[in-house]
Amino acid sequence: MTVAETNWAGNIRFRAERFHEPRTVDELRRIVAAGRSVRVLGTGHSFNAIADTTGDLVSVAGLPRVVEPDGRAGTVRVSAGTRFGELAGVLDRAGLALHNLGSLPHISVAGACATGTHGSGVANGCLATAVRAVELVTADGSLVTIDRGAAHFPGSVVALGALGVVTELTLDVVPAFEVRQWVYEGLPTAVLRERFDEVMSAAYSVSLFTGWRTDRIDQVWLKRRGGPDAPGAWHGAVLADGPRHPVPGCPPEPCTRQLGVPGRWHDRLPHFRLDFTPSSGDELQSEYFVARTDAVAAFDALDAVRERIAPALQISEIRTVAADALWLSPAYRRDCVAFHFTWHPDARAVADAVQAVEEALSAFAARPHWGKVFSTPPEVVRESYPRWEDFRGLLGEFDPTGTFRNDFVARHFGAG
Ligand SMILES: Cc1cc2nc3c(=O)[nH]c(=O)nc-3n(C[C@H](O)[C@H](O)[C@H](O)COP(=O)(O)OP(=O)(O)OC[C@H]3O[C@@H](n4cnc5c(N)ncnc54)[C@H](O)[C@@H]3O)c2cc1C
């Protein structure tokens, strides 16, 4: 049995009594139908107990691998456990691409979609916005397909693994494209405050990295599709003279190529290379989404508590995500700025820092990333999601006996 017993970060030890790695969908259907408490694990890259269960923990990594691009339809059919890095290679060879990627290509497609995982770009929705259809095994072992046209589709994509085990997804694809990546250093925060939208719209995907230590943003990563070379100076920041890692002092080798060297979309949109397996257990992460219209006020609120954030922080990343219509997406109906924190793996220091961040962002109806460390009370999270009750209704319909309702889901949506 190869199902991991902890998550990638090692801060969650799964409590499952039984681990399963079915080889066929029929085998999976039998496991689910027989289970009282079932959860599905993707690649285990979440930082909280969202995937945990005391019953049966199922991995879909052993199901037959499907990656079927269809250029004419503008889609790809993909098995749920496929990692983005794997999918991207096949798509690119077919002249196709995904609209965006997260910072790490090692994450499973279904797991990423289940939590609203995202990259950056003012016009780029989270990765789940590419989903056109979901095939899943529901609590009674039935295999159902939900297409984009279905009334409950918007509740069935970012679904926290609570509606069933996704076996396959159909995703929208676009023609393959090239990206060039540049890093600038030392963007004055005064400039960022004045020109936040201009800075974040300066490329297809823009990420800011800051340690909240000075009045400058440490690094700005620009990922551009076409256009001229990047100038040496920009908004008071200076073009980096060599490759950089987002965390100060770390060697840049695991990072995707910078310095404007053209590359395929999947070799530039993630910050980290697929052929470098990141060491596990060295970090925890948190992330909060606020409306982009509140970006500067939220930035200032965080800057005001930088002393409380600093003891736990490795690095912070600021990205944008376009609004979507997926009920539990952190970007539901609002263009967002996402404030991300990579923490040192010190649970107590992280808890203090998370509290400081949550207090600072409490005026902005911040939505926490479903797959990261947060302590926002469920009633506060609920208030920020207008379609909360609709999702609860969907849970009752799809999973009336609470097969997939682990502690995480019960805490937020009730025990059923
Ligand atoms: C180093 C690192 C970098 C990261 N970078 C980003 C980033 O750039 N952007 C971002 O938004 N997030 C990022 N994350 C967070 C990560 O993308 C999410 O936690 C994501 O959900 C992890 O996917 P997974 O396959 O590991 O899912 P898991 O952590 O295994 O599971 C997450 C949820 O998905 C459900 N799930 C998994 N597979 C299925 C399935 N087949 N059917 C139904 N439900 C399923 C699980 O039940 C669980 O509820 C990062 C995490 C790490 C460790």
The model's pLDDT over 144-193, given as tens digits with 9 standing for 90+, comes to: 999 999 999 999 999 999 999 999 999 999 999 999 999 999 999 999 99
The one-letter amino acid at 149: G
**Nearest residue (CA) to ligand 1, atom 40:** 166
In whole angstroms, how far apart are CA 125 and each of 155, 190, 326? 16, 28, 10
Give the tens place of pLDDT for each residue, 82-110: 999 999 999 999 999 999 999 888 999 99
Using pLDDT thresholds of 50, 70 and 90, give the confidence band for residue 249: confident
Give the Å distance between the CA of 161 and the centre of ligand 1. Answer: 10
The one-letter amino acid at 156: S
Residues 209, 214: Cα–Cα separation, whole Å: 12
The one-letter amino acid at 288: Y
Q: Which atom of ligand 1 is nearest to the CA of 370?
A: 19
Q: Which atom of ligand 1 is nearest to the CA of 9?
A: 53
List the one residue out of 143, 113, 107 whose CA is nearest residue 128.
Answer: 113
**Nearest residue (CA) to ligand 1, atom 10:** 117
Give the Å distance between the CA of 236 and the centre of ligand 1. Answer: 36
Q: Do residues 237 and 187 touch, judged by C-beta distance below 8 A?
A: yes
**Nearest residue (CA) to ligand 1, atom 48:** 51
Give the tens place of pLDDT for each residue, 349-394: 999 999 999 999 999 999 999 999 999 999 999 999 999 999 999 9
Ligand 1: residue of 14, 20, 41, 57 to mutate (most ligand atoms within 8 A of CB) is 41
Instruction: Express as a percent the part of the chain with pLDDT over 70.
Output: 98
Sign of CA dihedral 337, 361, 356, 325: negative
Give the Å distance between the CA of 117 and the centre of ligand 1. Answer: 7
**Nearest residue (CA) to ligand 1, atom 41:** 166
Give the Å distance between the CA of 145 and the centre of ligand 1. Answer: 21
Pairing relationship of beta strands 56-59 and 38-41 according to DSSP bridges: parallel
List the one residue out of 371, 409, 373 whose CA is nearest residue 102.
Answer: 371
Using pLDDT thresholds of 50, 70 and 90, give the confidence band for residue 2: low
- Structure-block tokens of residue 59: 């991995």
- Say yes or no to pLDDT of 416 above 80: no
Q: Do residues 295 and 337 touch, judged by C-beta distance below 8 A?
A: yes
Q: How many residues can be counted in the chain?
A: 416
Residues with CB under 6 A from ligand 1: 8, 39-46, 50-51, 60, 80, 102-104, 107-108, 110-112, 114-115, 117-118, 160-161, 165-166, 278, 369, 371
Q: Do residues 266 and 174 touch, judged by C-beta distance below 8 A?
A: no
Across the range 7-35, mean pLDDT stands at: 96
Q: Residue 362 region, left (φ>0) first, then alpha (ψ -120 to 50), else beta?
A: alpha
Q: Which atom of ligand 1 is nearest to the CA of 165?
A: 42
Across the range 196-201, mean pLDDT stands at: 98
- Mean per-residue pLDDT of the chain: 96
Q: Which atom of ligand 1 is nearest to the CA of 114?
A: 34
**Nearest residue (CA) to ligand 1, atom 53:** 45
Per-residue pLDDT, 281 = 60
Tell me if the pTM is above 0.85.
Answer: yes
Across the range 335-340, mean pLDDT stands at: 98
Give the Å distance between the CA of 143 and the centre of ligand 1. Answer: 23
Pairing relationship of beta strands 131-137 and 205-210 according to DSSP bridges: unpaired
Q: Which atom of ligand 1 is nearest to the CA of 404?
A: 47
Give the Å distance between the CA of 318 and the centre of ligand 1. Answer: 19
